[in-house]
Amino acid sequence: MTAIEMVRKIQRAMRMPVSSGLDDQYSQEILECVNQAQRSLLANLCLWNELRVQGTVLIEADNLVHRISVDDKDLDIITTIQHIDGTPIEREEDEDFLRYSLTSGRGKPIVYRITRKLFMKSGAMIEIELAPTPDADYEVFIEGYCLPPKLLADTDEITLDEDIVYWGALMLAKNANGLDSTMESAIFTTKAYVLKNDNGNWGEVELV
């Protein structure tokens, strides 16, 4: 289903004027709800196979902090960082990381911590700090999950399950317009948590 098809479906359900394209205020308001349903509600609900990304990143010598992105996608979660030879770079919480980094000096990085997520025009990135301080350039393998692409054009395709995106977006659109969304909220919640026990139409997912 395309973005404009989803917007029109929600407009009909709300008995609103049906837009010819995504070029008016009403369609843009509904489109924002669709994006929020995909990129916030659903992306935060579980780990979707459709959103899994992997690639390699260059870690530069003497640079403690690196901003990580993969394939120019909106990186949301890092699950694995390892050197090309298979040596893992383990994530540590702040206190443990700082304790180790104070005495680790320079060398091959073996631990990291996440310092912040960055949302920029070029896309979402995750900023990490490494220890020891890299003593050379290292190529590392990254695996994680991205956010669904933001829908902008009429023909942009919905990434995740269309049915649950519809109910989530309809719930949000009704809330934004001061309308009762009790039914939509119940349907969305029920369908979302079906993921835990029935992966038939959802691919392999893991609730988080």
Summarised one tens digit per residue, pLDDT across range 114-144 is 999 888 666 789 999 999 999 999 999 999 9
Q: For a pLDDT cut of 90, what percent of the chain falls above it?
A: 76
**Is the separation of the CB atoms in 172 and 13 below 8 Å?**
no
Looking at every residue in the chain, the average pLDDT score rounds to: 89
d(CA 138, CA 135): 9
Phi then psi dihedrals of residue 76, to 5 deg: -115, -35
Is a pLDDT exceeding 70 seen at residue 207?
no
pLDDT at 65 over 70: yes
One-letter amino acid for residue 69 of the chain: S
Task: Say which residues have a Cβ less than 8 Å from residue 90's Cβ, sequence separation at least 6.
Answer: 110, 111, 112
Per-residue model confidence (pLDDT) at position 205: 46
Q: What single DSSP character describes residue 41?
A: I
| Better-scored residue on pLDDT, 48 or 152 | 152
Average pLDDT value for residue range 169-198: 88
The single-letter code of the amino acid at 83 is H
Q: Which of 35, 50, 54, 48 is nearest to 141 (CA)?
A: 54
Amino acid at 22: L
pLDDT band at residue 208 using 50, 70 and 90 as cut-offs: very low
Burial grade of 57 (CB within 10 A; 0-12, 13-18, 19 or more): middle
Q: What is the pTM of this model?
A: 0.79
Rounded to whole angstroms, the Cα distance separating 98 from 15 reads 56
